Chains A and B, each alone.
Chain A
Amino acid sequence: MKLLILFLAIWTLFALQARITQADEVNSCEWRARSSDIDRDTYSESDTEEEINFGREIAARILGQFKMAGNAKLQKYVNLVGTAVSRNCNRPDLVFHFVVIESSEVNAYSTPGGYVFITTALLEKMGNEAELAGVLAHEIGHVSERHIVKELSLRGTEKSAVSSIAALLGGASKSAEIAFLQAVDKAVELILRDGFKKEDELQADSSAVLLCALSGYDPEGLVTLLDKIGKIKTGVGKTYPVYDVRLATLQKVISDEGISHMKLALNTERFVKAMQVEKGSNPLSIIQKVISGGVHE
């Protein structure tokens, strides 16, 4: 009997030690841990449903301000690139939608639940499919990490993030209804005007590198595009972290993951072809733009 108790006591101590070691490892890689072990375990299927419903309201608002680009072939192409990347993300509970919207602003937006918007102006700055995949992966990062949901529950614990929206959706009072719509307003303002906080942007960048590489796209695409946009420095949210910081973060993740020497796809030709469809003519100007952008296949 005593031996049995001794054995069980040792086993328990061993289990405790294993858990402490695991906790230390989690602390050392926080940005990944948030997306895997700790955070996601606190959500349920009904939380996802409420997150999607909330996101749809925001998406409809965005569509109220920006017109969808009319070219069906281009819409399908962007949707294919985004869906291919989203297959590797940690949110199999979501159906992602990738949409081109007409705007002179160089930007991309995403809503909870998986609606991702990219402006025609940003598409025009791109030279290959890897750059497009990089932007879409960055937005997928915001969605899968529930950045808006967390930001709106404001500075509450991560466990309470979705519950706040659930309470708003489930609330029976008039004030709850108004609070819900005010939350939608706030989210729209955050997406279209204020932007995400710096940590969220950097986390989305880090996650985009991994997503691109896992999907077979060269994560340097996001680097080259950010470099181009950084030089223009127009049409971006006011809280966007300084481009140099973002570029340095991207390069560090690429190096840490051992991706820098990999030959991953840029798919310049396919991208140029898709953009020709968008323009309807003048493929020469697109090719010139690709060459001047210094993009290599």
Chain B
Amino acid sequence: MRINRVFFLPSILYLFLFAATAFSEDTLYIQPFRAKIYSKPSIASEILCAVDSGYHFVPIGKEGNWVKLSYYGKKGFIPASQTAKTPPLGKSSSQAAVTSPKLGIRARTSSTSAVVAGMKGLTYEDRARVSKGERSDFDALEKIDALKLSPEEVSLFLLEGGKR
């Protein structure tokens, strides 16, 4: 009797945990900035509504490359490629950083990796040697990073282009 109890209790716990894990992994998270929910598994079908990045749901079906979901009583479809089993990752701070530490001539770049390399003592001569003398333009890169667009500008641009 005691042996039975010793065997049954962990078994129940194991079965319960296993099944619970299997189901919880089915939760999907919306990845893009905003994703549209379609009435059918086709981009050509009617757009029912849109959900923001990070919205999570348990799919109620799958058709080809589309996931079926229920959203406030409406059943719709979303491309599987716009979903993942993990929440969307946040914007990286390395791109958001405007200024970077200055470590003299060896660290004139704004890149963390280059700063790391500079701190490790890699000289420009070393870099030139391993880089076959290739030239890098970090000033231009900083100009590119500075060219920021606001979400409003992008939305207006899309609206002017007549895109849904």
Residues of A within 8 A of B (CB): 1, 4-5, 8-9, 11-12, 15-16, 18-19, 22, 25, 29, 32-33, 35-37, 40-41, 43-45, 48-50, 52-54, 56-57, 59-61, 63-65, 68, 75-76, 79-81, 83-84, 87-95, 97, 99, 113-115, 129, 169, 172, 174, 177-178, 180-182, 184-185, 188, 207, 210, 213-217, 257-259, 261-262, 264-265, 267, 270
Contacts and interface: CB of A to CB of B under 8 A. Distances in A.
B32 A97 contact: no
B81 A60 contact: no
* Size class of the contact patch on chain B: 35 or more
Contacts of A207: 81
B81 A213 contact: no
B145 A257 contact: no
A5 B11 CA distance: 8
20 contacts: A32-B79, A33-B80, A37-B83, A52-B92, A53-B94, A53-B112, A53-B113, A60-B136, A64-B135, A68-B144, A88-B32, A92-B88, A92-B89, A94-B91, A174-B120, A181-B131, A182-B130, A216-B164, A217-B163, A262-B43
B22 A19 contact: yes
Nearest to B67: A36
A48 B89 CA distance: 8
Interface of B: 8, 11-12, 15-16, 18-19, 22-23, 26, 31-36, 42-44, 53, 62, 64-65, 79-86, 88-96, 109-114, 116-117, 120-122, 126-127, 130-132, 134-138, 140-141, 143-145, 147, 149, 153-154, 157-158, 160-164
A177 B120 contact: yes
Contacts of B85: 37, 41
A93 B8 contact: no
Which applies to chain B's interface (DSSP): helix, strand, loop or mixed? Answer: mixed
